[in-house]
Chains A and B, each alone.
Chain A
């Protein structure tokens, strides 16, 4: 056992090395997670694409994985996702941007210290609860004004829009706060009003941060699952742009909702329908991953400009 017995100092450094390796392994878990996500999605998606051609998957207009005649066209799901994303963006982007302007340019320190955490709460409410609010309270309220179906894209878009407001507002506000005060003072010196300074100086100067927050929020809306599953329903439907009103007033199915439907149903592990789950998942992962990277790229621009 003498080989295992070390001097005092080398025992200490030995322990230091062991500890270091243990922690490095912990850090590697995050890389492993990404690798595992990619591998598992790819493995099953490749099997899926060997049975269903990618052309059929990406250009097909019918999504009926479990009903005869079986068809795996992802377009209805993609357009459904786009409808929700577009609707929620209509709410969240302007409201989030205005919120950021208020917090960064107008709010007093005290108001900001109350409003910022309160807004974060909007993002912290579980999404299943948002879905329930949309289905049980917002849809009947809309129905009183315009007749809508029980499941509709409008109510889902509203709640998804509300839950991504903090994403837009907090990142945009950070970008606006990073705009150097010199720019504002120079503008005031030229006789500009606070309105002009906010809209013509601060917003353009913080544009890259704002754009980055928009992309991130859209990515979040695309990946949002429970609220749209509950409120927008399970009707895979290719969006019919000739009937703009119907687009929002009727049920759609997003990619995420289709995954939930397939995942919760009892399709067996070897069926094509089950593999299609991973093909849709891979599509979703790819879209959100690219958007997140894009957002980071855009954001890193403004960090460099004002340092």
Chain B
């Protein structure tokens, strides 16, 4: 490389260099350019491909140029300027803008998921009965704690039995057994009896009431008020008084009640309103209260206002002038209808519901087990002795499990859950358990990292106050580790929602016309549906329906990852 300029690239102190030590700067510069090119290669490639997909799904070019111009002026320019203003001010305004816009969007998504569950899986009355049963069980456990505070074994039994009895009641007993000697087969005696159902469960009692309250009232009591109570804790802590919690509950209840009375007049179902208000307005309200109280980043509040106002004004102008909007594949019809042979009618609704239900199963099964395993490995596990070997084995094993191909997990699910436990071919619960096992290592590892990040001084302080190990974990370690654990879990759930191969192996349906109506019915999930569509050869499927499905899946993923990042950012700032 003698042809290059005679300066060393690095370090710059080169005054004393002579001709014999000349080195080329060109080579170094070229190399840096090549490494940079390699770094962005994959990103660019996937980025361009995704642009194609979005273009096929939304078809923005099918709209009138005037339509684009109007929205560019009313929506894009103002919101970009507000965003730029928030960004350059460098204050917390950007964070506020991001959160006040993101919270309602995520809230709407969660709310829509809950509404779908109420529409397709459980009735509101059943849900309320279940909630009542859980309250009754909690009451029984609390009563036992008061009456016999030192009976630990007994309480363990109560902990297990009370919820079961409350939910299912005492079922009918039926025994029919013959005891015989093993060798000769002589009958010794026969035990055979059966009883009618001894005690109905609380949900059964509730739904057998002759007059049931309206659905939306039940939801206010069983959903809005408890959620408000939980969020109220944040308000109370922020204001350092106890009234914050009460006021939050009262305000949430009032908004839900008034809205539920008004909503039907504008064509919204009152029960849906209650759910959506709980998931959207309540977190937003609590967040805004904090922003206003701390007076930090108030400018960011303009961002959602500008976005909403810009959309409304733009829509109004477009309507009056008569510019035609785009004709996308991804529209309301796509989200709410079932798949079909004709591309124009095909939709993703049943698969969307299937994915949501599968996520519910995963959250209920993999999350507690993963966190429990992480607590054991980080807090209890001994480092030596036979148990120490076991722990080392578990940790190596977790790393290896994370590298097992997903299709092998599918085989596991097929062999264990479908054939051995006979939970049904391709049912929601089998899908949830299988994919739950798949993401379990990720959940465990992220929870371990979060627990490890809790400073040891906090544990020592807790022990110093006389707390037991379990009290320390419950009151000190877990609350501090929760945000990190949640972030990791949500990211793992993002992985779960895109998994396809395990679903294929356990026999999830190629395409279903009706959404699953329970956890034991056969289902299809979004990626499974996308795979089925990919074998259609009509261009309308390839470049239309498929693209819309892919964008739907990606948007859901993006929302989940956005939530995870939001939690992580907030947590990093606080600690």
A interacts with B:
yes
**B-binding residues in A (CB < 8 A):** 1, 4-8, 10-16, 18-20, 22-31, 33-34, 36-37, 40-41, 43-44, 94-95, 98-99, 101-103, 105-107, 115, 118-119, 121-122, 124-129, 131-133, 135-138, 162, 165, 169, 188, 191, 193-195, 197-199, 216, 219-220, 222-226, 229-230, 256, 259-260, 263-264, 269, 277-278, 281, 284-285, 288-289, 292-293, 296
Asked whether B39 is an interface residue with its Cβ less than 8 Å from the other chain, the reply is: yes
Asked whether B34 is an interface residue with its Cβ less than 8 Å from the other chain, the reply is: yes
Q: Are B372 and A281 in contact (CB under 8 A)?
A: no
Asked if A106 meets B542 with Cβ closer than 8 Å, knowing A162-B42, A162-B45, the reply is no
Q: Are B531 and A128 in contact (CB under 8 A)?
A: yes
Asked if A23 meets B375 with Cβ closer than 8 Å, knowing A14-B152, A136-B542, the reply is yes
Chain A residues with CB under 8 Å of B498's CB are 125-129
Asked whether B494 is an interface residue with its Cβ less than 8 Å from the other chain, the reply is: yes
Chain A residues with CB under 8 Å of B189's CB are none
B435-456 with Cβ < 8 A to chain A: 437, 440-441, 444
Asked whether B408 is an interface residue with its Cβ less than 8 Å from the other chain, the reply is: yes
Task: Give A6 to B501 CA distance when docked, in angstroms.
Answer: 52
Asked whether B72 is an interface residue with its Cβ less than 8 Å from the other chain, the reply is: no
Chain A residues with CB under 8 Å of B156's CB are 18
Asked if A23 meets B405 with Cβ closer than 8 Å, knowing A8-B150, A259-B411, the reply is no
- Among B43, B151, B406, B495, the residue within 8 A (CB) of A1 is B151
Task: Give A263 to B506 CA distance when docked, in angstroms.
Answer: 8
Chain A residues with CB under 8 Å of B414's CB are 263
B410-431 with Cβ < 8 A to chain A: 410-412, 414-416, 419
Which B-chain residue is minimally distant from A37 (CB atoms)? B412
B483-529 with Cβ < 8 A to chain A: 491, 494-495, 497-501, 504-505, 507, 510, 527
For the side of the interface on B, what is the size category?
35 or more
B212 → chain A, closest Cβ, in Å?
Answer: 38
Task: Give A148 to B546 CA distance when docked, in angstroms.
Answer: 22
A6 → chain B, closest Cβ, in Å?
Answer: 5
Q: Are A11 and B149 in contact (CB under 8 A)?
A: yes
Q: Are A126 and B499 in contact (CB under 8 A)?
A: yes
- Among B398, B408, B491, the residue within 8 A (CB) of A30 is B398
Q: Are B527 and A126 in contact (CB under 8 A)?
A: yes
Chain A residues with CB under 8 Å of B302's CB are none
Q: Are B557 and A124 in contact (CB under 8 A)?
A: yes
Q: Across the A-B interface, give the 7 residue pairs with the lowest CB-CB distance, nearest first.
A: A126-B498, A223-B405, A26-B372, A102-B35, A98-B38, A40-B415, A23-B376
Asked if A30 meets B440 with Cβ closer than 8 Å, knowing A263-B505, A281-B407, the reply is yes
- Among B41, B411, B543, B550, the residue within 8 A (CB) of A40 is B411
Q: Are A1 and B154 in contact (CB under 8 A)?
A: yes
Task: Give A126 to B150 CA distance when docked, in angstroms.
Answer: 51
Chain B residues with CB under 8 Å of A226's CB are 500-501, 527, 531
Which B-chain residue is minimally distant from A115 (CB atoms)? B39
Q: Are B501 and A260 in contact (CB under 8 A)?
A: yes
A108 → chain B, closest Cβ, in Å?
Answer: 12
Chain B residues with CB under 8 Å of A13's CB are 468
For this complex, 29 residue pairs linking A to B, each with C-beta atoms less than 8 Å apart, are A14-B153, A18-B156, A23-B373, A25-B372, A26-B369, A29-B440, A30-B401, A30-B441, A30-B444, A34-B397, A36-B416, A37-B409, A37-B411, A37-B412, A43-B415, A98-B38, A121-B43, A132-B530, A133-B49, A137-B49, A162-B46, A188-B10, A193-B9, A193-B23, A223-B403, A260-B504, A281-B407, A281-B408, A285-B404
